[in-house]
Amino acid sequence: MFSIAGSSLSMPSLAASQVSITRISGLKLASAPLGRAIFPLRRNYRQGSLQVCCAAKPETVNKVVEIVRKQLALAEDSNVNGESKFSELGADSLDTVEIVMGLEEEFKISVEEESAQSITTVQEAADLIEDLISKDSSA
Instruction: Write out the catalytic residue numbers.
Output: 92
If one counts every other C-beta atom within 10 angstroms of the C-beta of residue 62, the result is 15
128 alpha carbon, distance to own chain's centre: 6
DSSP conformation letters of 1-70: -EEEEESEEE-TTS-GGG-EEEEETTEEEEEE--SS----SEEEETTEEEEEEPPPPHHHHHHHHHHHHH
What is the C-alpha end-to-end distance of the chain, expressed in Å? 34
Query: Which DSSP letter does residue 111 get?
Result: -
